[in-house]
Amino acid sequence: MRIVKLTNETKKNLLDDLLKRSPNHYTEYADTVQEIVDRIKENGNQALFDYTKKFDKADISESNIRVTKEEIEEAYEKTDAHLIEVIRKALVNIRSYHEKQRQYSWFDTTEEGTILGQKVTPLESVGVYVPGGKAAYPSSLLMNIVPAKVAGVKNIIMTTPCNAEGKVYPTTLVAANEAGVDAIYKAGGAQAIASLAYGTESIPKVDKIVGPGNIFVALAKRAVYGYVGIDSIAGPSEILVLADETANPRYVAADLLSQAEHDELASAILVTTSEELAKKVAEDVDGFIKELSRSEIIRKSIDHYGYILVAEDMENAIAAANDIASEHLEIVTKNPFEVMTKIRNAGAIFIGEYSSEPLGDYFAGPNHVLPTNGTAKFFSPLSVDDFIKKSSIIYYSKEALEPIQQDIIDFATSEQLTAHANSIKVRFEDKK
C-alpha cells in the first residue's frame, strides 16, 4: 500500500480520487438503463422476460417467475444446517437492535383546546433488491428486510436474479424466508428495479425500493426515484481505520482487506500517527494478499484506492477521518472512546481492536447498509425510519384560534396571500 504524509494537498487528492467511484460518474450507462426502464414501463412482463433471457439466459414466464414454496423447501435441503442456525442467531441480534428504533405516534393537548401531534404510519409495500451475480449476500438481505418488518410494512416484495436454469441461490431463499419476506420474484438488474417501480402483470408496484446492486441497478434506482422512494444510490464499499502506535498492525491489515475484497473499486484507508505502524501494516497487507482467495480483486482495489496516511498528531488524523466520512470507521487507539466523541462523519463506528468491521456486517445487529462516497456527512444507515412516514396532526378549537386569528391574518397579508388571510377571517365574521 502507498504510504503518504497527510497534508491538505494529499487529502484533497485522495477525496477527488474517491469521488470518481460514485455512480454519478458512470453516465455512459444512463441511456441504456433509461431504455430498459422505459420498456418495462410500457410493456411490463414481456419486456421483463425478454431482458431476463438476454442477460441471465433464463426462460422465465408468468408460470415460474415467482419462487414457490417447494423451491424454498428445496433451498433448505441444500443449505448447510449450521449456516441456517447462524442466520437465525444473526436475525435475533438484528431484530433486537432495530426494535429499539421504533417510533410511535404522539399527541400533545392543551386546556385552550389544541391538539398537536405526529402520526407514524408504516409504508404499505416495499421492494427489496438482492444481487445474485458474482456472489450471494444473505447478510445484506437480512439488513434490508428486518427493519421493514419491524416498521410494520405490510407487503415486502423481493427480486433477485436467477441462473440459466431458473434457480436462485439456496442461501438467498433461506435467508429471505427466515426474515419474513412475503414474495420472491426471479428478476435482476435494471429491469427488476423498473418492475418494482411501475409494476408488471406479475410483479406488484411498490412504494419504495431498497437494496444494493451493480451500476445498472444504481442508475435504475436513480431513474425511478420520485415515482417511488429509494434508500440511496450506493457507491463501492469503503473502510477507514484510525490508529495510533498501540494498534496491532496484523489486525489493521486484515480489516483493511475485508473491504478491499468486495470490489475493485472498494477503498481501504489507514490514517495513523505512527510511521512504524504504517510500514508494518503495508508489509502485512502484502503478506495477506498472497494468501487470500480474492487476491486479484483485492490487489486492484489496494493499488487504485488503498492509502496509508501518516498524520502529525491525532487531531489531524481525526480531522481527516471527518473529511473522508467513510462508510466504515474503525478506531484502534489507546483511548478509542474519547476519539469516538470527536467523530462527526461515519456510517458505522467500530471501537477497539476486537470490534472489526465484519462483526457489523454479519452479527452485531446494527444495519450494514451504510452511506458511501462521503455521504455520511448527511445520510444515516438504513433503519426503521426508512420504512415509515410521518403525518403532522393539528387541531384547534374556535376558542383556541380566536386569540391568535389576527396574528395569522397579519402574517398572511404581509406575504400578500390574501386568500390565506381570508380563510381565517371568515371564521370570525359573526364577531364583527
Q: Show the CA angle centred on residue 94, arms to residues 90 and 95, nearest 5°.
A: 115
Quickly count: other Cβ atoms within 10 Å of residue 409's Cβ. 18
Cα distance from N-terminal residue to C-terminal residue, the chain: 81
Residues 195 and 187 sit within 8 Å (Cβ to Cβ): yes
Residues 6 or more apart whose Cβ sits within 8 Å of residue 13 = none
Quickly count: other Cβ atoms within 10 Å of residue 384's Cβ. 23
Residues 401 and 431 sit within 8 Å (Cβ to Cβ): no
The residues with which 156 forms a beta bridge, in sequence order, are 126
Q: What is the DSSP letter of 4?
A: E
How buried is residue 425: exposed, middle or buried, by Cβ count under 10 Å (0-12/13-18/19+)?
middle
Residues 21 and 235 sit within 8 Å (Cβ to Cβ): yes
What is the three-class DSSP state of 2?
strand
Output phi, psi for 151, to 5 deg.
Answer: -65, -25
- Of 238, 327, 330, 357, the catalytic one is 327
- Of 328, 330, 353, 368, the catalytic one is 328
Residues 374 and 324 sit within 8 Å (Cβ to Cβ): yes
Residues 91 and 179 sit within 8 Å (Cβ to Cβ): yes
159 vs 52: CA distance, rounded Å: 12
Residue 139 is which amino acid? S
Residues 141 and 172 sit within 8 Å (Cβ to Cβ): yes
Name which of 169, 11, 147, 186 is nearest 79 in CA terms.
Answer: 169
Residue 263 is which amino acid? D
Residue with cell 489507546: 334
Q: Is 327 a catalytic residue?
A: yes
Residues 134 and 85 sit within 8 Å (Cβ to Cβ): no
Residues 6 or more apart whose Cβ sits within 8 Å of residue 374 = 15, 18, 19, 324, 325, 345
131 vs 144: CA distance, rounded Å: 12
Q: Is 99 a catalytic residue?
A: no
Q: Which of the residues are catalytic?
A: 327-328
